[in-house]
Every structure is written in structure tokens, then in C-alpha cells.
Amino acid sequence: MNRRYFILGLLGFTALVSIRKVGAMGLFDQKKSSKEFAFMLNDAEWKEKLEPEAYHVMREAGTERSGTSPLNNEKRKGVFHCKGCDWELFSSEHKFDSGTGWPSYWQPISDKAIGISVDRKLIYARTEEHCANCGSHLGHIFDDGPKPTGKRHCINGIAMVFKPAEA
């Protein structure tokens, strides 16, 4: 009986590792690249427009290291725009300190600012957030944010540019 549980456990572990590897290759992901966006560039143009780390985050759905974005500490009034296409994404009025090391917001600037898809790169599904205008990966949405929405839009700062409000 113990051998049976051991074999079942080993098979389950192997299946989880395989699923994670397949997910990391992007086979389970919705392909945003096949969708038409208002602002579109080909891969060579994106590589020319963005520095390598921004390209990795925005076009390959990577993640910047926690605590590395200067936008995490941005406290001025203004608007956070997509670095890829200059689309307005988040207002400073909706920004809060989540303690995660990434800029966090409890809502986007408008309902048309972002798009969402399912991210299955990890064993569990997450809600991925991308720019509604160009499809660039921004981060993920979690259900542990402040009121009134209870949402935490956890965004890679390298995917955005901050534009301060005019005095």
C-alpha cells in the first residue's frame, strides 16, 4: 500500500513539473500577439523602441525585480503612461503603497485603459494585465487591494512612464 502512494505521489509531482514547464513555454497562454491593437509594431521595431529589460517585461511577459523601479516611490500628482505607446494607464490618485516592491494601484485610469487575460505560467491561473492600446504586458491583478475596489494592480514600473500634472 505504501508503494502505491509513493508511485501516485511521484506521478503527481512529475505531472505538476511538466505542466509548469509547458506553461513557462507559453503554450497555455492566450496569445495577445494575434489580437489587433490600435498601436502595433513588429518585433524588430519593439526591440528598437525599448531597452532590453523593458522589452523582456512588456513583450515577453517578464517581471522586473521587486524594488528596482523608481516609479514605486513616485508621490507626485500625475498620470502613468504605457512606455510602449504613451497610453494613459493609471492616475497617481489611485496609487498606494502595497509593500510588494512594485507600483500598485486600486484601479486603472479608465475602463478602456487596460486589457486582461489569463496567465497560466505558474501552476495556478492569474489575471494578467496589458495595455489596451498596444498589448504590452504590465503586470497582474490581485484581490488583496484596498477599498473601494479590493483590487491590487501590481505593475512593472519599467513598463510605464510618469508624467507629472502641470502646476
Residue 124: per-residue pLDDT: 76
Is residue 124 in a domain? yes
Residue 66: pLDDT band by 50, 70, 90 thresholds? very high
118: pLDDT strictly greater than 50:
yes
User: For residue 38, what is the DSSP state?
Assistant: S
- Overall number of domains in the chain: 1
Contact yes or no for 85/131 (Cβ under 8 A): yes
Residue 62 lies in a domain: yes
User: In CATH, what number is assigned to the domain containing residue 97?
Assistant: 2.170.150.20
Q: Percent of the chain having pLDDT more than 90?
A: 71
Instruction: Please write down the long-range contacts of 65-68, taking CB distance under 8 Å and 24 or more positions apart.
Output: 65/101, 66/100, 66/101, 66/102, 67/101, 68/101, 68/157, 68/158
Q: What residue type is assigned to position 3 of the chain?
A: R
Residue 68 lies in a domain: yes
Q: Does 22 map to a domain?
A: no
**Tell me, what's the pLDDT at 59?**
97
**Structural domain range at position 38:** 31-164
Which pLDDT does position 16 carry in this prediction? 54
Q: Which residues are catalytic?
A: 154
